[in-house]
Amino acid sequence: MFSVPNTIIYIEENDLENFRITYENDGVFLEIFAEPDRAELLHHLTRKKIVDLSVSSVQDLLEDGIGRTRIAATQIEFNYGEDLTIDVSRDELEARARLLPPEPGGRLLDLETAKQKLTEAGVAYGIDDEVINRMIEKKDYGEPYTVAKAIQPIDGENGKLIFHFSTDKRTGSPIEIGGGRVDYRTLDLFVPVTEGQLLVAKTEATGGYPGVTVKGNPIKHRPGKEIALPRGKNVNYNYERTEMTAANSGLVEFVNNSINVSNVYNVKGDCDMSVGNIDFDGTVHISGSVRSGHTVKATGGINIGGNVEAAKLIAAGNIEVKGGMQGSGKGMIEAGGSVSIMYVEQGSVYADGPVTVDVSIHSNIETGSTLHAKGKRGAIIGGRTAAGGDIVVNFIGSLSQTKTEVEVGVIPKKRARLLVLEKEMRRLETDRIKLDQLEAYLKKTKGEVNNETWAKLHLSEVENRKINEEETLLFSRETDDLKYEIDHATDNRVHVLETAFSGSRIAIGPSALKVSNDISYASFRYSNGEIVYGPCEISKGDIK
């Protein structure tokens, strides 16, 4: 048998007029009327499945051009049906098929038969049933249809880093506050983070999947590449090393593929319009001064290398100012720890810890601990100074009899808290009277008022009375503690190493003494309901 090239060939009716095959008693005969297309003729003979076909007889007749010859022994004619020619690309990425027409009465092709022919041709993967059905239904003989496509490989995805903070360069621009407005004193200068905050997470690389050609041969894929978390300082890694978190609060920077978390925010130079307000979860160091109108907040401490103008410093820890404050009546320092400052002029200082100052001029200072006015002057001139502990000072007031108030034992904010508590106690008493009235009303109207309404009012009365009792107990205890502290805040002293000038007022606990004549080198203390003084109980050498 001969073979036909894998070229799509089908015979139109006019091609069949050039030759004829007849099945007779003494054999199968081929008759040529006009020179046919040889490939078409051979393809037709192949599809007829003639048994023991004499290829040499066919070739001899083709050489003669026209005539008739016996090409096979006697047999029953086979009428061929629709068929497929299948062409697989060299890279095996796709297979194309062409539908061949049937002879009259030949069997039509169905999906299962078509797929079987694809299998026989070695096409086993990526077969598209929908395309095959469309090709069979349209009867578009000779047109190529892509009936199978390779299953493409899926490359693995590389591991990725997902940053949970902005790595963009800080703009230094004012922060938007809504309504088309911006805060020109709050600038975008650093990225704040809190302890335990997720900084970076990584996704694992995936392996991917190999592909397969239409003939079942594998197509290689590319596995994803793993990626490691960046190096870091003050950071923590989880056990699997897939996440990095901040070891402490502060600011985060991503520089040279390294993530650094710092709990110290350093400002080189002044805190002015170029820096803006600072609100930092950690400690703030400013080498210069803090200019008027600015606010510096820190959950740690604040260290100022220069001066503070009419600005605000607020810290949960200690505050140290190398210079002083020229507050102009607006400057304020508030510390959860200690405060150390050279001078305070027309400013306010509030601290839970000790306060150290060289000179305070027309300022308000309150501390829950001790206050030392020490240095070249060591003076408190004008304003009001209150300390929960002792006050040690060289001078109180001035030669010009500047009104100066100094108090130890209880700081004013505790007295203010007592006033708030007393007001709350009066409110609770008023509420109790209303609750008693409601209770009496409910007892009187039980069974007369709608049951649901009565139940709601009763529940409200019970719940509100419980809240009232709890708050009354809580506020009563705090009130009693404060009153006791105020009444017994008599152990602290005011030590004057130089002079308490006339015009000064010294208060200890519930008593006060107005200085009418200059008093030098004295310690003021409480005794039997009044303030007395004697020789100073400490010396300058005792102060460190």
Q: How many helices (H) and strands (E) does the chain have?
A: 7, 39
pLDDT at 4: 36
Neighbour count for residue 257 (Cβ, 10 Å): 9
Q: Which residues contact 18 (CB under 8 A, 6 or more apart)?
A: 32, 33, 34, 35, 36, 37
Task: Enter the tokens of residue 75.
Answer: 């047999």
Task: Enter the tokens of residue 486.
Answer: 């105020």
Task: Enter the tokens of residue 233.
Answer: 């300082």
Task: Enter the tokens of residue 45.
Answer: 């003979």
What are the beta bridge partners of residue 298? Answer: 280, 315
CA atoms within 13 Å, Cβ hemisphere of 68: 9
Inter-residue contact 328 to 344 (CB < 8 Å): no
Angle between helices 412-445 and 451-487 (to 10 degrees): 150
Inter-residue contact 194 to 251 (CB < 8 Å): no
> If residue 182 lies in a helix (H) or strand (E), which one and from where to where?
strand 181-187
User: Rounded to whole angstroms, how far apart are CA atoms 497 and 391?
Assistant: 11
Q: Cα 98–102–105 angle (5° rounding)?
A: 160
Question: What is the full DSSP assignment across 305-358?
Answer: SS-B-S-EEEESS-EEESS-EEEEEEEEEEESS-EEEEEEEEEEEEESS-EEEE
User: Rounded to whole angstroms, how far apart are CA atoms 480 and 127?
Assistant: 89
Question: What is the full DSSP assignment across 95-161?
Answer: EEEEEEPPPTTPPPP-HHHHHHHHHHTT--SSB-HHHHHHHHHHT-TT-EEEEEE-B--EEPPPPEE
Q: Which residues contact 3 (CB under 8 A, 6 or more apart)?
A: none
User: Rounded to whole angstroms, how far apart are CA atoms 526 and 537?
Assistant: 14
pTM: 0.59
User: Rounded to whole angstroms, how far apart are CA atoms 160 and 446?
Assistant: 70
Inter-residue contact 264 to 286 (CB < 8 Å): no
Inter-residue contact 366 to 412 (CB < 8 Å): yes
Residue positions counted in the chain? 544
User: Rounded to whole angstroms, how far apart are CA atoms 243 and 509?
Assistant: 57
Across the beta sheet with 83-88, what order do the strands follow?
83-88, 94-100, 144-149
Per-residue pLDDT tens listing for the chain (544 residues): 333 333 334 444 445 678 889 999 999 999 998 888 888 888 888 888 899 999 889 888 888 888 899 999 999 988 888 889 899 999 999 999 999 998 888 889 999 999 999 999 999 999 999 999 999 999 988 899 999 999 999 999 999 999 888 877 655 445 554 554 444 444 456 788 888 999 999 999 999 999 999 999 999 999 999 998 988 888 999 998 899 999 888 888 888 888 888 888 888 999 988 888 888 888 899 999 999 999 999 988 999 999 999 999 999 999 999 999 999 999 999 999 999 999 999 999 999 999 999 999 999 999 989 999 988 899 999 999 999 889 999 999 999 999 999 999 866 777 788 889 899 999 999 999 998 998 888 888 887 878 888 888 889 889 999 999 999 999 899 888 888 877 777 788 999 999 999 999 999 877 899 999 999 999 999 988 889 999 999 887 666 6
Task: Enter the tokens of residue 452.
Answer: 């649901």
Give, as one character, the DSSP assignment of residue 542. Answer: G
pLDDT at 443: 86
Instruction: Spell out a b/e string for 116-141, using b for 16 or more CB atoms within 10 Å of the CB, else e.
Output: ebbeebebbbbbeeeebeebbeeeeb
Pairing of strands 391-396, 379-387: parallel
User: Rounded to whole angstroms, how far apart are CA atoms 479 and 83?
Assistant: 104
* C-alpha dist (Å) from residue 63 to 46, 56, 223: 19, 10, 61
